[in-house]
A and B are shown apart, each in its own frame.
Chain A
Amino acid sequence: MATLIPTLSITSDDATSDALDFTVIDSLTIKAPSSSLSQIVVDTTGANNIIVAANADKQTWVYIKHTGTTDGSTATTAHCDVELTGDVAVGTLKPGEFCWFPFCGNGGSTGVQLQAVGSSVQMEYAYWSDSTAQ
């Protein structure tokens, strides 16, 4: 099985009176199903843009990035909502922003979908399942 190493760093000199600066690293053992980097033009209907299908009891890691464009070259300021299928909004990504989170499929009933706000957005995503049973 393969190993995936995610690393997150968060820094700020002025968010608070004391500087914020930390880095966390994880090590994940990966197995199928996985999907390497993909791109999708997301429209304003979440059900049209399911990027991780409902899966039964698999620990899946999801990476999503807003490319800042509508088609790879035309800039946009439109946001894109990250949702669980069934229109459960989690949060919104603006141009250039990204996220990384675990997803467990809720017994095979729920997936992950994207919904652009106002106009279409090109998004980048990938997911990897790890060896942890749920």
Chain B
Amino acid sequence: MATTTNSLTLTSSDLFEDSLSISNTSTCYKAGTTIGLDQTTGLVKTYVTATQQFDPFPVVKGTTNAAENGKVYISNESEIASEYITVGIGDAVIGRLYAGDWMWMPWSPKAQHVNDIEITPSVATGMFVEFMAIHNYANIYPDSADS
């Protein structure tokens, strides 16, 4: 099984009277195991030219994945400070990523259209967005028009 390692550091020399230095490393395991997550979307970079909301990851089909485990990376690659993407889950807004911002968070899909990750660009003039999911979900795949 795959071994994927993630490290996060948070540092500041002027945030408080005391300097801040947080450092963490963990391995992406399946829920309740020490077996590595074995599926990934790969690192995706896309150019979006509309303010229409879109799902960066395949939506969940059929059975639930609530007990499963996944990680999501999303980055706004824009170089224009005022441009942002709004990241949500289902109908709920989580937050905004402005130019150069990124996020790393867990994702546990429970049902289609309820827990889909969604991205809404702030401008239609074109911006790059980068994203990746690492997971072990069943029944997620793009729809096909073929019969």
Nearest neighbor of A27 in chain B, beta-carbon distance: B100
Nearest neighbor of A12 in chain B, beta-carbon distance: B4
Q: Does B144 contact A (CB under 8 A)?
A: no
Q: How far is the CB of A66 from chain B (nearest CB, A)?
A: 9
Evaluate contact between A20 and B43: CB separation under 8 angstroms: yes
Given contacts A10-B4, A10-B5, A12-B5, contact A104 B95 (CB under 8 A): yes
Chain A residues within an 8 Å CB radius of B110: 89
Assembled-state Cα–Cα distance A132/B99 (Å):
11
Nearest neighbor of B14 in chain A, beta-carbon distance: A2
Nearest neighbor of B24 in chain A, beta-carbon distance: A98
Evaluate contact between B20 and A36: CB separation under 8 angstroms: yes
Q: Does B90 contact A (CB under 8 A)?
A: yes
Q: How far is the CB of B120 from chain A (nearest CB, A)?
A: 12
Evaluate contact between A103 and B73: CB separation under 8 angstroms: no
Given contacts A82-B106, A102-B95, A103-B94, contact A5 B10 (CB under 8 A): yes
Evaluate contact between A24 and B102: CB separation under 8 angstroms: yes
Chain A residues within an 8 Å CB radius of B124: none
Assembled-state Cα–Cα distance A14/B36 (Å):
10
Question: How many B residues face the partner with a CB closer than 8 A?
Answer: 57
- Given B2, B11, B86, B105, which contacts A12 in the complex, CB threshold below 8 Å? B2
Evaluate contact between A90 and B105: CB separation under 8 angstroms: yes
Chain B residues within an 8 Å CB radius of A11: 4-6
Chain A positions 32 through 60: 1 when the CB is less than 8 Å from some CB of chain B, otherwise 0: 00101100000000000000000000011
Chain B interface (Cβ < 8 Å from any Cβ of A)? 2-16, 20, 22, 24, 26, 29, 31-32, 36, 40, 42-43, 66, 69-73, 75, 86-87, 89-90, 92-98, 100-108, 110, 115, 132, 134
Known: A15-B2, A77-B32. 9 other contacts (CB 8 A): A5-B11, A10-B7, A12-B3, A28-B101, A88-B92, A89-B110, A91-B72, A101-B104, A104-B94
